[in-house]
Amino acid sequence: MGKLNNIAGNFIPEDNIIEIVPFGSGLINNTYLVKTKSSFPDYILQRKNKNVFPNVPAMMDNIVKVTDHLRNKIIEEGGDPERNVMTLLTTTNGDPFFEDAEGEFWTMSLYIPDTISYETASTNDLARKGGEGIGKFQRQMADFTQDLYLTIEGFHDLKFRFKQWDETIKSGNRKRIKECKKEIEWIENRRKKMVDFWNLVEEGKIPKRVTHNDTKLSNILFDKEGNVLCVIDLDTVMYNTVLADFGDAIRTFANQGKEDDINIDNVGLDIEKYNSYIEGYLSEAGEMLNEMEKEYLSFGPQYIIYEQVMRFLMDYLKDDVYYKIDYPTHNLVRTRAQMKLLESIESFFQI
C-alpha cells in the first residue's frame, strides 16, 4: 500500500494516513477509502479508468463546475455543503487530479461519514426518497448554463450504440455471437421502437438537460434515518435527456432481483417501488418537465435498460474489455437479467 500512500500524499499530508483500503462496488474505476488519524476527516481515493474516460482532466472540469453549482444551491437552500455534495480535493499544484508516473489519473474527495448506500431498495419509502434525491439534483442543476465536455462519446446515445452494435456483430467473437443468437434477435426486434424514440431527443422535442447518467441506487448516499444526503459518482455528468436518469434509477430501485441475477426468475419490476420513486421524483422535478418528457417518462426505463442490454452484450461479444467481470459469463448473465427486467416493464406499460 506504500504506492497508494504516496499518491494520496499529493492531496493531503502523507503522515496523516493510517491505512488505505478498497471500497465500494463500481464496475469501472478503482476506489479506496483513506483512513486518517482521528483529528482528520477520511477520504475517498479513486483511480479513474483511462480506458473508459479518455480525457480525465475534462471529466474533472465537468465535476468541478457541477459541484460548485450544487454547493451554491445547497447553501442557498440551507443544506450542509459538506454532506449534500461531493467535496473534491486539489493537489499542491491546484489540480483536481494527480497524474502518476504511469500516466494513471487519481482523484480524491471528502468521505462523508455516517452514510449508507444500497444495492437494492428494500422499502417503498427508500424508493420514494431516492426519487426525491435524483429529482432534487436535476432541479438544482436546472439553471446551470455552462458547457460540459462530452466525456464518453455516445454515452446513452442510442444512434451511437447502434453503430457500435453493428460493428460488434461484424467483428465480435464468432463463437459468442453464435451462442447469443436469441439475445441478438431480441435487440433487433426492438430496434425500430428505440430509434423512433431517439429521434424525439435528436429533434429537441425531448430536451437535453444536465443529467447524472449513472443514477443507480448505489450512487446515492443516505443518512442513518433513510434520508437522501448526496448524489455521488459524477463521472458521467453531461447533457442528456432526464429520461435516462429516471430510467437508470428505476432499473435498480424497482428491480426485484439483482442487476446480474443468475436466477432470472428473481428479476422483475416492483410496481410499488416504481410508483414510489415517481412520486418522490416528481415532487422535486415535476415542475421543470415539459409535456413530452412527462408523456415519455415510463419509456425512460425501457430505453435505458435496452441500452444496458446492448452494452453488456456487446462487451460479452467483444471478449469483456469494458466492464469488470467476476467470472467468464458475467456479462452474459447481466445481459439476460436486464432483458428479463425490460420484458417485465413492457408487460406493465404499452408505449
Residue from 245, 259, 293, 315 in contact with ligand GN1 (CB under 6 A): 259
Residue from 157, 214, 261, 293 in contact with ligand GN1 (CB under 6 A): 214
Residues 15-44 that bind ligand GN1 (CB under 6 A): 26-28
Contact between 52 and ligand GN1 per CB under 6 A = yes
In angstroms, give the least distance from the CB of 170 to Mg ion.
Answer: 29
- The entry of ligand GN1, Mg ion, none that residue 27 binds, CB within 5 to 8 Å by partner kind: ligand GN1
Residue from 61, 132, 214, 270 in contact with Mg ion (CB under 5 A): 214
Look-up of cell digits 448516499: 221
DSSP letters, 131-171, are HHHHHHHHHHHTT--S-----STTTT-HHHHHHHHHHHHHH
DSSP state of 255: B
- The entry of ligand GN1, Mg ion, none that residue 259 binds, CB within 5 to 8 Å by partner kind: ligand GN1
Contact between 240 and ligand GN1 per CB under 6 A = no
Nearest to 197 by CA among 333, 293, 53: 293
In angstroms, give the least distance from the CB of 218 to ligand GN1.
Answer: 7
Largest CA distance in the chain: 60
Backbone phi and psi for residue 91, each to the nearest 5 degrees, phi listed first: -80, 175
Contact between 233 and ligand GN1 per CB under 6 A = yes
183 vs 235 by CB, closer to Mg ion:
235
Site string for ligand GN1, 110-139 (x = CB under 6 A): ------------------------------
With b for 16 or more beta-carbon neighbours within 10 A and e for fewer, the 132-152 pattern comes to bbbbbbbbbbeebeeebeebb
Round to whole Å and give the CA distance between 351 and 346: 8
Taking contact as CB under 5 A, which single stretch among the options 134-142, 234-242, 243-251, 311-319 is the one that binds Mg ion? Answer: 234-242
Taking contact as CB under 5 A, which single stretch among the options 47-55, 75-83, 206-214, 272-280 is the one that binds Mg ion? Answer: 206-214
Backbone phi and psi for residue 102, each to the nearest 5 degrees, phi listed first: -90, 5
245 vs 293 by CB, closer to ligand GN1:
245
Round to whole Å and give the CA distance between 236 and 214: 7
151 vs 241 by CB, closer to Mg ion:
151
Strands 30-36 and 105-110: unpaired
- The entry of ligand GN1, Mg ion, none that residue 292 binds, CB within 5 to 8 Å by partner kind: none
Contact between 307 and Mg ion per CB under 5 A = no
Q: Where are the alpha helices (DSSP H) in the chain?
A: 2-8, 56-76, 124-141, 158-171, 174-179, 181-189, 191-202, 242-253, 271-285, 291-295, 299-317, 330-348
The site for Mg ion (CB under 5 A) is made up of 214, 233, 235
The site for ligand GN1 (CB under 6 A) is made up of 26-28, 52, 214, 216, 233, 235-236, 259
